[in-house]
Amino acid sequence: MFLVAIFLALLAGFVSANGGVITTPTNGTVIMPGESFAFSYDPMADYSISTYNYTVFLFTKLPSSLFSSTEWSNGHYFGRFDYPNYPAVPYSTHPAPANLTMPDFSQSPRTGWGSGANVTNATVYLLVLEEWLTGSDNFGLTMSLAINELIYNGTTSGS
């Protein structure tokens, strides 16, 4: 029983030490509008686990449900990237950039009706949706979700 508990604790530690984690910027980092910030994501890829692509968003509002909604969330799409992991992705063809740029949400898109807003010290959500697979039966790609909270246009200096 004791050994089983130790084994489970080790396994839990092992699993949580593995990927599916945004390593930079860390949770709680203050980032100003238009600021370039270092980005790094540690994917699920490991022996017997293949990572295919991961998609990065910044949400300024978390969805409150998964039902259809015309105002489901707000934010920005950074892109869909791959990560070198043998044998799934021997060479990365569209790697994530080392730095991302925090949008300035006060700026309007160049065309159309859309307009922005000035916002102070807001919690926003850097979100990574990863597509990964193991070798056993998979009813579609497995998707993991990682979220780090950032402070947009913070009033305390963190940058």
Q: Indicate which single residue of 7, 80, 92, 95 sits in contact with ligand NAG (rule: CB under 6 A).
A: 80
Q: 96 with 39: CB under 8 angstroms?
A: yes
Q: How far apart are CA 14 and CA 21, in angstroms?
A: 13
Q: Indicate which single residue of 16, 48, 111, 118 sits in contact with ligand NAG (rule: CB under 6 A).
A: 118
85 binds ligand NAG (CB under 6 A): no
What is the closest distance, in whole angstroms, from the C-beta atom of residue 5 to ligand NAG in the complex? 25
Q: Indicate which single residue of 120, 135, 136, 137 sits in contact with ligand NAG (rule: CB under 6 A).
A: 120
Q: Indicate which single residue of 104, 125, 129, 142 sits in contact with ligand NAG (rule: CB under 6 A).
A: 104
What is the closest distance, in whole angstroms, from the C-beta atom of residue 7 to ligand NAG in the complex? 26
119 binds ligand NAG (CB under 6 A): yes
Q: How far apart are CA 9 and CA 13, in angstroms?
A: 6
| Span interacting with ligand NAG, options 11-19, 28-36, 41-49, 65-73, rule CB under 6 A | 28-36
- Nearest Cα to Cα of residue 37 among 64, 18, 9, 58: 58
Q: Which is nearer to ligand NAG, 68 or 157 (CB)?
A: 157
The SS3 of residue 67 is coil
Q: How far apart are CA 143 and CA 44, in angstroms?
A: 10
Q: How far apart are CA 39 and CA 43, in angstroms?
A: 13
Place of tokens 């489970």: 8
Place of tokens 């080790």: 10
The pair of structure tokens assigned to 146 is: 């990682």
User: Which residues make up the interface to ligand NAG (CB under 6 A)?
Assistant: 27-28, 33, 36-38, 52-53, 80, 82, 94, 99, 104, 106, 115-121, 123, 148-149, 151, 153-155
